[in-house]
Structures are given as structure tokens and as C-alpha cells.
Amino acid sequence: MWVPKGAKNRKLAFDFMVHLTSDRYALRFAKEQGRLPARPRVLGDPFFDDPNLKTFLEQARTAQPETLGAFSEPTKLFAGAIDEALRQGKDAGAALRQAQVQAQAAPAGA
């Protein structure tokens, strides 16, 4: 998910993205829509005891965010923020805000 640079309600859009990616909704989307969450702590829910999910659950332990080849430095910052939020328990909003500030400070074309 991205917030366009010219968005009129950037903070609201960002807060909405953080809300949609919270544990509560990650689990709800999994149960209602079959979306499999990337957060290991959510995968401990009894819902994921389904034997058909065994391979996914094994792979989720070592999965990495997709890279965005055209933007190498912002991609690294985004991946780091995702790791901090999903694997290290850092507040997702804080991690992504920090990555955004760092990405905007990076030299053009990085």
C-alpha cells in the first residue's frame, strides 16, 4: 500500500493503512477472505491449525518482503520497517514513518 505524494489526506490514509494491517484485521481477513497474514504472532491463532496450511506456515518463517527494483534505497527502508513491525514487534506506524522520513531524505534516484 502506498500514499500518493499529492494526496490531500496523507495522514488519514497512512493511519488507515496501519489500521488495516493491525493484528486484529490480519486475522479477520484470513478468516473471512482467505488472506494469509505475514505476522508470525497472528499465525498462532487456532484458525491456522488447518493441515492444508502447513506448507505456508513453514515458509512464512523465512519469507521476505517483495523488493521494488526501481527504488533500491526506499525498498531497503520499507523492508526494514516491515521487519521491525512484523518480526520485532515495533509499532508499525512508527516504523513506517521513520522509513518514510529516511526515504525522503535519500538522494534523488537512490
CB 57 within 8 Å of CB 48: yes
pLDDT confidence band for 46 (50 / 70 / 90)? very high
pTM to 2 decimals? 0.47
Quick one: the chain helix, strand, coil %, rounded to 5? 60, 0, 40
Which residue bears the cell 497512512?
14
pLDDT confidence band for 69 (50 / 70 / 90)? low
> pLDDT averaged over the chain?
83
